[in-house]
Chain A
Amino acid sequence: DTGVSQDPRHKITKRGQNVTFRCDPISEHNRLYWYRQTLGQGPEFLTYFQNEAQLEKSRLLSDRFSAERPKGSFSTLEIQRTEQGDSAMYLCASSPRSDEQFFGPGTRLTVL
């Protein structure tokens, strides 16, 4: 399967804990995006990487959130000191040099 993959698919954590999600984009896609989707809403942009450089961050990305793409391939999204409001689906997408983005299956986070 050469699509976008995300790990884990589901994460349940207690408030105050740190969590980390991983995204493996389609190989050779140099652009990578993270989105957050809450119940009944469309995905909202969080951050964008071109190769290893993080070029854009949404105001939604508070200082508890950090994302990396160290070698321009896979990416990680870490949330520190999780809050109940962080419960959502976190989606990763990758893109070649075009306007089309290819989405992974998402990581569903539940903060208790």
Chain B
Amino acid sequence: GDSVTQMEGPVTLSEEAFLTINCTYTATGYPSLFWYVQYPGEGLQLLLKATKADDKGSNKGFEATYRKETTSFHLEKGSVQVSDSAVYFCALSALTGNSGGYQKVTFGTGTKLQVIP
């Protein structure tokens, strides 16, 4: 079945450092790829997405490129801020199911990012 593997945390960075969180996936077909962010005590918020190979998703200074050849979707940010401290989840969405299909989302285990001043 589909799976998502992302680097284990926690990742601790100083403010203004460069961020990379690695994510690789296994899927049949052509999934859409997502990064979600979860702040303490809150639900998941969509950070960015890409729906086909070579697409780049971007939002709030974060970027990730859909690499089909390496089955990867690494998250990057050039200069992190303390407010970026959160847990980041890589996910894929693929049409599946027995009843006409639905978008099944498979999540990685999450990477906790801590940014210190």
Show the binding face of A for B, using Cβ within 8 Å.
4, 6, 31, 33, 40-45, 48, 50, 53, 55-56, 91, 93, 95, 98-106
Contact = CB atoms under 8 A, between A and B. Distances in A.
A95 B46 CA distance: 12
Contacts of A106: 42-43
Given A55-B97, A56-B98, A99-B51, A45 B44 contact: no
B105 interface: yes
A50 B107 contact: no
19 contacts: A4-B43, A31-B102, A33-B105, A42-B89, A42-B108, A42-B109, A42-B110, A44-B107, A48-B102, A56-B98, A56-B99, A91-B43, A93-B44, A98-B103, A100-B49, A101-B93, A102-B46, A103-B36, A106-B42
Contacts of B34: 100
B20 interface: no
Interface residues of B, number: 28
Contacts of A53: 99
Interface string B36-71: 100001111110010100000000000000000000
A67 to B, nearest CB: 14
Contact of B46 (A41, A91, A100): A100
Interface string B87-99: 0010101000111
A74 B102 CA distance: 19
Nearest to A53: B99
B97 A48 contact: yes
| Residue of A98, A99, A102, A106 contacting most chain B CB atoms (<10 Å) | A99
B103 A55 contact: no
Contacts of B104: 45, 56
Nearest to A41: B109
A89 to B, nearest CB: 8
B33 to A, nearest CB: 10
